[in-house]
């Protein structure tokens, strides 16, 4: 018996018991759909973390002031204002592995353009901040040195601020008021989207750090000391992030004259490591979800084996008759094995459709990011075929080993 003849015979046997065939395929259908959906959800989570890593910038660390303890009460990070612009300059100059070290400070306030206003975060930065964050301008230009040194009334706006204040108009060369100070927009930042905390990174206005110090804060004590909220450090490609982190800590301990054994008045956060750990956790979760869903495929395979054993018992006389007229053992084996694989593949095909529908449903009704890939589909269908072969082999082998005389006498 050739393959096509065996396939036709298998299809006739399956169609003769349509309801039983459908119920047998149900476990495979649910398993394939579950595997595809779970992998899609896991891939979506991984892609979201990767997008956050990309928006954050590559090889980046954040240096922030440490915490303060008062009367035994620890006030938390960034309550000790000791970092300055000079510290950022020292990191950039004295540590060769550092590409840029960008100081920044922040506040918040209303930004007014004509009759429209919008509350946003206001950052004091320099051009190095955009390089550290891998952040470009979609239009306009960077600050020049005279503007950075002279507290110029110029600003960059994020995509959200530009949209809220100007709609579809080009904001470049428009004048806005920031806490009553008129400023000229010289650039629009490229869209960044949300960060890992769900905050809109495009809802921001950036001005020279000297402008924030002298015109927004009014030259108070913190301004005169050139205190900064944080220092964004970008490490050169190929350099060890851990080694640079230790170099930064050692340099700042020397600058702050920190006694041995005492707490550092600053904190160095390796943001790339944090997000890479999140990405790895997402990958592991994807594998776990796929493994749990794969159990449904195994259960479906057990169902196929049970039904195939029933089918062998019901068709014992037919098997004996086939053998009596010349069918070989391998012909019987291939016939029943093809039936099992056909059930698995048919269930897998229907499961792919159900998986696509469930993936679309999850993405649209829960708001989760999902990503259905051809690799996931191929994995699910391929595994379903292997399940059919594995669980169908024993019934097929049992049928092929029947003796013709005993099979013909079977009642």
Q: Check whether 69 has a pLDDT greater than 50.
A: no
Which of 212, 231, 264 is where one domain is finished?
264
Q: Check whether 16 has a pLDDT greater than 90.
A: no
pLDDT band, residue 224 (cuts 50/70/90): low
User: Do residues 281 and 259 share a domain?
Assistant: no
Q: Check whether 71 has a pLDDT greater than 60.
A: no
Q: If you ran DSSP here, which 8-state letter would residue 200 be given?
A: B
Least confident residue range of 124-128, 139-143, 174-178, 361-365: 361-365
Asked if residue 272 is part of any domain, the answer here is no
Tokens, residue 267: 């904190």
Total number of domains constituting the chain: 2
Average pLDDT, the chain: 81
Q: Check whether 46 has a pLDDT greater than 80.
A: no
User: Do residues 245 and 282 share a domain?
Assistant: no
Per-range mean pLDDT, top range of 58-72, 136-150, 326-340:
136-150
Torsion, CA 277, CA 229, CA 65, CA 54, rounded to 10: 10
Q: Check whether 276 has a pLDDT greater than 80.
A: no
User: Do residues 7 and 110 share a domain?
Assistant: no
Distance from chain centroid for Cα 357 = 22
Asked if residue 61 is part of any domain, the answer here is no
Q: In this structure, are strands 181-189 and 154-157 parallel, antiparallel, or unpaired?
A: parallel
Which residue has tokens 């440490």? 66
Tokens, residue 101: 């070290």
Q: Check whether 294 has a pLDDT greater than 70.
A: yes
Per-range mean pLDDT, top range of 98-112, 191-205, 257-271, 336-350:
98-112
User: Do residues 257 and 284 share a domain?
Assistant: no
Asked if residue 283 is part of any domain, the answer here is yes
Asked if residue 176 is part of any domain, the answer here is yes
Provide the domain limits for residue 192. 81-264
User: Do residues 27 and 85 share a domain?
Assistant: no
Torsion, CA 207, CA 210, CA 212, CA 218, rounded to 10: -150
Asked if residue 193 is part of any domain, the answer here is yes
pLDDT band, residue 152 (cuts 50/70/90): very high
User: Do residues 107 and 255 share a domain?
Assistant: yes
User: Do residues 200 and 324 share a domain?
Assistant: no
Q: Check whether 160 has a pLDDT greater than 90.
A: yes
User: Do residues 248 and 153 share a domain?
Assistant: yes
pLDDT band, residue 74 (cuts 50/70/90): very low
User: Do residues 245 and 350 share a domain?
Assistant: no
Which of 237, 264, 291 is where one domain is finished?
264
User: Do residues 186 and 297 share a domain?
Assistant: no
**How confident is the model over 180-194, as a mean pLDDT?**
91
pLDDT band, residue 118 (cuts 50/70/90): very high
User: Do residues 259 and 294 share a domain?
Assistant: no
Asked if residue 300 is part of any domain, the answer here is yes
Q: Check whether 231 has a pLDDT greater than 80.
A: yes
Cα 259 to Cα 265: distance, rounded to the nearest angstrom: 11
For position 141, what pLDDT does the model report?
Answer: 94
How far is the CA of 59 from the CAs of 48, 98, 129, 275, 362, in angstroms? 18, 10, 14, 11, 34
Tell me the CA end-to-end span of the chain in Å, nearest whole number. Answer: 26
User: Do residues 256 and 361 share a domain?
Assistant: no
pLDDT band, residue 29 (cuts 50/70/90): confident
Contacting residues for 363 by C-beta, under 8 A, at least 6 apart: 40, 44, 369, 370
Per-range mean pLDDT, top range of 107-116, 335-344, 379-388:
107-116
Q: 118 by DSSP, 3-state: which?
A: strand
Q: Check whether 313 has a pLDDT greater than 60.
A: yes
Which residue has tokens 């595997």? 35
Q: Check whether 199 has a pLDDT greater than 70.
A: yes
Which of 229, 264, 299 is where one domain is finished?
264
Q: Which comes out higher in pLDDT, residue 380 or 70?
A: 380
By the 8 A CB rule, do 125 and 208 touch?
A: yes
């Amino acid at each position: 018996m050739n393959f096509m003849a065996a396939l036709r015979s298998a299809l006739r046997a399956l169609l003769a018991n349509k309801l039983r065939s459908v119920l047998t395929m149900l476990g495979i259908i649910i398993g394939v759909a579950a595997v595809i959906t779970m992998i899609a959800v896991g891939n979506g989570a991984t892609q979201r973390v990767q997008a956050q890593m990309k928006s954050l910038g590559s090889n980046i660390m954040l240096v922030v002031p440490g915490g303060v303890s008062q009367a035994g009460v620890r006030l938390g990070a960034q309550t000790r204002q000791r970092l300055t612009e000079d510290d950022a300059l020292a990191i950039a100059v004295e540590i060769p592995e550092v590409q840029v070290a960008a100081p920044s400070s922040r506040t918040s306030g209303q930004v007014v353009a004509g009759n429209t206003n919008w509350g946003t975060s206001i950052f004091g930065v320099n051009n190095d901040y955009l390089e550290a964050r891998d952040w470009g301008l979609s239009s306009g230009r960077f600050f020049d040195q005279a503007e950075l040194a002279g507290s110029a009334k110029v600003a960059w706006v994020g995509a959200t601020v530009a949209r809220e204040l100007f709609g579809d108009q080009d904001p470049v060369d428009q004048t806005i008021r920031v806490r009553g100070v008129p400023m000229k927009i010289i650039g629009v930042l490229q869209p960044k989207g949300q960060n890992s905390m769900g905050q809109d990174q495009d809802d921001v206005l950036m001005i020279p750090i000297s402008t924030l110090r002298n015109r927004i804060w009014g030259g108070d004590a913190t301004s005169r000391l050139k205190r900064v909220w944080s220092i964004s450090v970008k490490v050169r490609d190929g350099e060890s992030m851990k080694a640079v982190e230790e170099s930064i800590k050692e340099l700042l301990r020397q600058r702050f004259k920190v006694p041995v054994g005492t707490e550092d008045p600053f904190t160095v956060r390796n943001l790339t490591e944090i997000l890479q750990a999140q990405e790895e956790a997402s990958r592991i979760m994807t594998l776990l979800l796929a493994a749990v869903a794969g159990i449904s495929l195994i259960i479906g395979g057990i169902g196929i084996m049970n039904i195939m054993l029933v089918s062998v018992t019901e068709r014992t006389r037919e098997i004996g008759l086939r053998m009596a007229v010349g069918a070989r053992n391998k012909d019987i084996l291939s016939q029943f094995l093809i039936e099992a694989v056909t059930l698995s593949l048919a269930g897998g095909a229907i499961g792919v459709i159900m998986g696509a529908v469930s993936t679309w449903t999850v993405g649209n009704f829960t708001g989760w990011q999902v990503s259905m890939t051809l690799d996931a589909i191929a994995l699910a269908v391929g595994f379903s075929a292997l399940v059919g072969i594995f669980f169908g082999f024993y019934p097929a082998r049992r049928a092929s080993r029947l003796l013709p005389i005993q099979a013909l006498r079977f009642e």
